[in-house]
Structure 1
Amino acid sequence: MESLTEQRPVNNPVVYGFLRLAGVSAARHKALAGALAEYCRSHELQLSGVFTDRDAAAGATSAAFTGLLDVLALPDVYGVIAPALSHLGPKAIAAERGRRIEKAGSRLLLVRKPEASSHAVSRSRPGRRRHPGTARVLDAES
């Protein structure tokens, strides 16, 4: 009989981070990269690098995103982690980048779920805060 997975050496799934930080301070960059690293530690993911897009006008094919796609072609890469969907860019660019990540055979993990809308919160009860450690997995099928 084989031992349990917890009793065998198993590598954590490899992920790469992606941040979109146009005009953001070095301290904010460090904090967001640290949040990605902590999330990966707590969810048994191996954060192998973080790509940072600092050019807001670059469109869907920035140098940082192209580099990300290059590493997604490496064997045994599980996916991409970002703090929120907005880090992939504005809606149209984020949708295109999401499709390209999926086409590369990778998963997109988001630390924060997308907000439904500001009108969804009832005015008769206080708004609830989302837990910052919740991930949303897009394309969860294997």
Structure 2
Amino acid sequence: MEPLTEHRPVNGPVVYGFLRLVRVSQARQDALVASLAEYCRSHELQLSGVFTDRDAVARPSEAFAGLLDVLAVPDVYGVVAPAMSHLGPKAIAAERGRRIESAGSRLLLVRRPRPTHPSVSPSVLIRRRHPGTTRVLDAES
């Protein structure tokens, strides 16, 4: 009897990583690559390569151009990055995000962006009791 399809090893959707590493130690680089690999493993994605931009100057990037080239290959699902900042400064990152999506690919971030203006302060959500107070309930409640 054949095993069910779910029990056979299958390749997940193909993604490529993108890192912007300017003046970063080898240990930090290794940790970032490992975080991309772990994200892909836990989301059943196939990390097929990582493009690394080492240029501190915001200008056309050979790494990003290479990334766009592989996104044109059929069956490439998307790009994974640790955070939006790895695509560059805010304006450049936003444009690069649009270019990735216009190539028909998804941009996946290991760390999601935090809201810039939360409607409720986190301190409002935390309810603290004074130390030593005890809540007493009636026996009928």
Shorter-chain TM band: 0.7 to 0.9
Distance 1:51 1:116 in 2: 27
Matched, 1:29 2:29: yes
Residue correspondence of structure 1 range 93-104 to structure 2 within 5 A: 93-104=92-103
Aligned residue type for 1:17: G
Distance 1:120 1:38, change over 3 A: same
List structure 1 segments (4+ residues) > 6 angstroms apart after TM superposition: 118-121
Partner of 2:13: 13
5+ residue gaps, structure 2, are 127-141
Q: 1:41 corresponds to which residue?
A: 41
What are the superposed Cα offsets for residues 17-54 of structure 1, whole Å, 9 maximum, x if unpaired? 00011111111111000100011111100000000111
Question: Percent sequence identity over matched residues?
Answer: 75
Determine the C-alpha separation between the residues in 1 that align with 2:115 and 2:36. Answer: 23
Task: Tell me what 2:61 maps to.
Answer: 62
Shift of 1:99: 1.0
Task: Provide the C-alpha distance between the structure 1 equivalents of 2:71 and 2:25, rounded to a whole number of angstroms.
Answer: 28
The amino acid across from 2:73 in the alignment is L
Once the 2 structures are TM-superposed, how far is the Cα of residue 94 of structure 1 from its aligned partner? 0.6
- 1:7 to partner: Cα distance: 4.2
When the two chains are superposed, the root-mean-square deviation of aligned CA atoms in Å is: 2.2
**Radius of gyration: which is bigger?**
2
Distance (Å, rounded) in 2 between the aligned partners of 1:122 and 1:17 = 34
Find the aligned partners of 2:37 and 2:104 in 1 and give their Cα distance. 22
The verdict on how the C-alpha distance between 1:102 and 1:124 changes in structure 2, with shifts beyond 3 A counting, is: closer
Structure 1 portions without partners, runs of 5+: 128-142
Structure 1 Cα separation of the partners of residues 71 and 122 of structure 2: 44
Instruction: Please state how far the C-alpha of 1:122 moved relative to its aligned partner.
Output: 2.8
Q: Partner of 2:106 in structure 1? A: 107
Q: CA deviation at 1:75?
A: 1.3
Read off the aligned partner of 1:27 and give its amino acid letter. Answer: A
Deviations 1:69-118 (A, max 9, x none): 11111111000000011111111101110111011110000011101137
Q: Which residue of 1 aligns with 2:83?
A: 84
2:58–2:88 Cα contact (<8 Å) kept = no
User: What is the rounded CA distance, in whole Å, between the counterparts of 2:77 and 2:106 in structure 1?
Assistant: 6
Structure-1-length-normalised TM-score = 0.77
SS at structure 1 position matched to 2:77: strand
Letter of the structure 2 residue corresponding to residue 6 of structure 1:
E
